[in-house]
Amino acid sequence: MFFSPFLAIGLAPLLASAAPSWSVGPTTDYATKASNKVCSILDYGGKADGKTDIGSAISSAWDECKEGGVVYIPSGEYALESWVRLTGGKSTAMRMDGTIYRTGSDGGNMIFIEHTSDFELFSSNSKGAIQGYGYEFHKDGSLSGPRLLRLYDVSDFSVHDLILVDAPAFHFSLDTCSNGEVYNMAIRGGDSGGLDGIDVWSNDIWIHDVEVTNKDECVTVKSPSKSILVENIYCNWSGGCAMGSLSTDVDISDITYRNIYTWKSNQMYMIKSNGGSGSVSDVVLENFIGHGNAYSLDIDQAWSSMSTVDGDGVQLNNISISNWKGTAENGAQRGPIKVNCAPGAPCTDVTIEDFAMWTEEGDSETYICNSAYGSGACLKEESGDTTSYSTTVTVTTAPTGYSAATMAGDLSTAFGTDSEIPIPTIPTSFYPGATPFSALAAKASSA
């Protein structure tokens, strides 16, 4: 069956969501690939016994089916001790219906796909998972283990209906890819920094309908990137979404985050740098709901957690922030609006509107703007003079319309770093009032 990336499009009418204007996803449907050839790893020495290393079986199946076929990992439990590097695929797919458990201890990437085009990685039963058992590293304070999944130089692709759990390091990286779609995923990691959910530095990418639990990046854009649409994202006790860390020769443009729900996280959205050079332009951050987050909107070009790099600062221009609602953990301690721009590279053409957030503790909150020009909140109007300035506004009355919905799946506590994290199911809702763009593959295949 062909699993279309555009099944069941239909968002609530008040939510401004739509597919990207550029093309994404495989150019050949799954049915055509499967009719050509299917290479089950069970035919190449793989065993669903939870202990036999399937690394060589995956590699052998890939070599046979990487040009016009399907690598198939059937339902069952599998061990992966030796990492796999899959390269040179053309018009291929990898159907992962079973659960892969990490049994090796090397660094690097458990599954690394590179130099591949017209590619689909998915689970037809929406239960395919990689269990990284990262706690075995983290309980001793180590982050030296592998990423779970990395794509490099992959074009015209989709990754969907997969579950990534407890990565020793990052969960999923998209590096120098193009025309890709990522959707219907659940990512669950430990309560520690260095365990990013999805990191993307690529062009023409659509990421949507994803839940992330961890204590670092939820879905983050890095440099260089262009034309990235991120929407219907559920940061459920996470680090929160971000851009950065930005360093030298930054080149990021045309980035939209829309329909982002953030619960008990470090921030709702952060753009982070300290010194540096280059530019970020044409960014839209709209329809954000947050509850109990340390920071809300946090643009910080003097981010203390990053070592200062050479340069006057990254130039931020044409940043639009609109329709933010909810509550901050403590609005006086960490105000819901912080736009701290570099004096040597002031932010320009910044717009903040329809921003209604209130504090959960106390009866006041602060807005902080430094060297930021535009309209709304504490921003200084542009008049041709971009001399550095600093403004703090204290708000003592709750804004109208700050009340916002919560999600039924909001976690009551984080997952630790010293015991096994259970494999979740993929949710069917990622933002209040928004219907996912695509039905889960398991539902689509049974329809």
Q: Which residues are catalytic, by number?
A: 216, 291
Tell me the HSE value of 180 on the side-chain side, using a 13 A CA sphere.
31
Q: Is the distance from CB of 136 to CB of 70 less than 8 angstroms?
A: no
Distance CA 34, CA 36 (A): 5
Distance CA 99, CA 97 (A): 7
**In this structure, what are the phi and psi dihedrals at residue 191, rounded to the nearest 5 degrees?**
-85, 70
- For residue 255, count other CB atoms closer than 10 A to its CB: 22
Peptide bond preceding 245: is omega within 30 degrees of 0, i.e. cis? yes
The residue type of 310 is: D
Q: Which of 224, 134, 221, 127 is nearest to 171 (CA)?
A: 134
Q: Which of 58, 152, 68 is nearest to 96 (CA)?
A: 58
Distance CA 211, CA 222 (A): 19
Token pair recorded at residue 340: 């701290």
The residue type of 439 is: A
